[in-house]
Amino acid sequence: MAQWIGCMVSIESVKGTYQGEIVAATGSEITVTKAFCDGIPCDLPAVTIRAEEISDLKLIEKQESPAGRSTVVVAKPVPKRIGRSTSESSSVTKLNTNINNLKSRPIDIDTRNNSQDSQYYKNFTPNKKDKTKGKWNKGWKDEACFGSPLDSTINKDFDFEKNLALFDKQAIWDEINSQKPDVVKQTDQNRKQSKYRHDENILATLPTAFRQITVPKHEFFEFVTDDGLIIPSISRSLRNKLWTVADRVGLTAERRIELMGRAATEMALQLLGGGHRLNPHNSHQFPTVIILCGPHEQGAFGANAARQLATHGVNTVLYTTVADSPKTKQEIDLYRLTNNKTVSNVSLLPNYADLIIVALCQDCDSPMVYDTLADWTNRNRAPVLALDPPSVGTPGILTKFSLVPVLPFAHSPENGKVYLCNLGFPVEIFNEVGIKYMSPFGSKFFIALHPKEEEC
């Protein structure tokens, strides 16, 4: 074992991995000097390891440096720092070893024109001192990644056209098309033949075909719902026949007023913001609604809606044109029980409102005109909801929404967006007056109507 003395050795034992120079070796133990244990220098000048503790032993050939000293490379772990996921290792040298002897040869991509650059750029990671002095430049980064600087190796542009010409696209398309069935080819040809101008619609618009309500006399004005159902308009005389049959079977004016008031209340609550506005925790921001009522059944619709809105906590003000109207007296008396305000003078109306409900006029040849109320309403600039207004609109008042019962009249644009209310009439009532009827309401209590466009 004398021939081992002076050699570098790496010993794996139960105590760790030792590296150092052998100074003594017998059959039972080995003594090393300048020892490292797991990469950490040992405090003792010499370490003796017994044979039974050794699990593996590797000898490193003895190499003499010009100064007569041996060289050993030790892998020393670097402490984990912030931002690093794993520990890194770096090569360190001992005994005044020149670092250039440990560098690996650079991996050159192209050495035809960059011999001088490859000689200048070295494939090693600079230490902290080099980074501090600004030596970690772009060339070093490229060389560390690719083995040589990019600027000197990538000196020829890629010829895209030449490489694209190698790919015969037409031949491949011909091969694919030859495998298609005749039906597929015919479909492709039909698609290619369809050409559209800039003012044409690609999606074909078919006329609405859902007609489940027909009337005995066509009024030449129809509406359509969001679901595509056609709603025909009716005349005032046909509406009166419906009311007569409804009164006879028990659907009296009181029931119609209650249902219409309920629908107007529900629609008004949605226009006011629903639960976002009507919140018990925001009682200081509750909305204000002004209801303008006339001396007729439409006025009773408005008074009933005012009472139901008041039960939801809405601040309401009811204006009545004739306080002793027999058709509205009962509804006004019920409204007064809410302790909300009732006025008969325009000057007593507030200057601000979140919503105005208008129930001033019946559908007749010459609806009543309320000039003073119309001026006040238009100055207020609040949205206006009209309850069963005349087909020509409420004179002088700009209406944004209208709510009408059962079936609409031929309403003009003066009534704004029209909504249809369900009063719960049985189908036999419609049959008796000659109307073929199937309910268009579905799951809703009132639905929006849109003017039906004329078919070309």
For residue 438, being part of any structural domain is answered with: yes
Range of 94's domain? 1-78+85-102
Structure tokens at 325: 């109207």
Assess whether 31 and 152 both reside in one domain.
Answer: no
Assess whether 72 and 117 both reside in one domain.
Answer: no
Does residue 87 have a pLDDT over 50? no
The pLDDT tens digits for 391-425 are: 888 888 989 999 999 999 999 899 999 999 999 99
Report which listed range, 147-161, 210-224, 378-392, is most confident: 378-392
For residue 317, being part of any structural domain is answered with: yes
Q: Please, which pLDDT band fits residue 94 given cuts at 50, 70 and 90?
A: very low
Return phi, psi of residue 176, to 5°.
-70, -45
Mean pLDDT lowest among 103-107, 268-272, 350-354, 377-381: 103-107
Return phi, psi of residue 40, to 5°.
-110, 130
Number of H helices, E strands in the chain: 13, 18
The answer to whether residues 229 and 448 touch, using CB atoms and an 8 Å cutoff, is no
**How high is the mean pLDDT of the chain?**
77
Q: Answer with the residue of higher pLDDT: 179 or 168.
A: 168
CATH of the domain at 401: 3.40.50.10260
Give the percent of the chain with pLDDT over 90.
31
Assess whether 132 and 98 both reside in one domain.
Answer: no
Q: Answer with the residue of higher pLDDT: 434 or 276.
A: 434
Q: Rounded distance, CA 28 to CA 41, Å?
A: 24
Assess whether 321 and 418 both reside in one domain.
Answer: yes
For residue 202, being part of any structural domain is answered with: no
Assess whether 350 and 423 both reside in one domain.
Answer: yes
* Count of structural domains within the chain: 3
Assess whether 92 and 114 both reside in one domain.
Answer: no
The answer to whether residues 404 and 297 touch, using CB atoms and an 8 Å cutoff, is no
Task: Say what the pLDDT of residue 429 is.
Answer: 94
Task: Say what the pLDDT of residue 336 is.
Answer: 92
Q: Please, which pLDDT band fits residue 104 given cuts at 50, 70 and 90?
A: very low
Task: Say what the pLDDT of residue 380 is.
Answer: 87
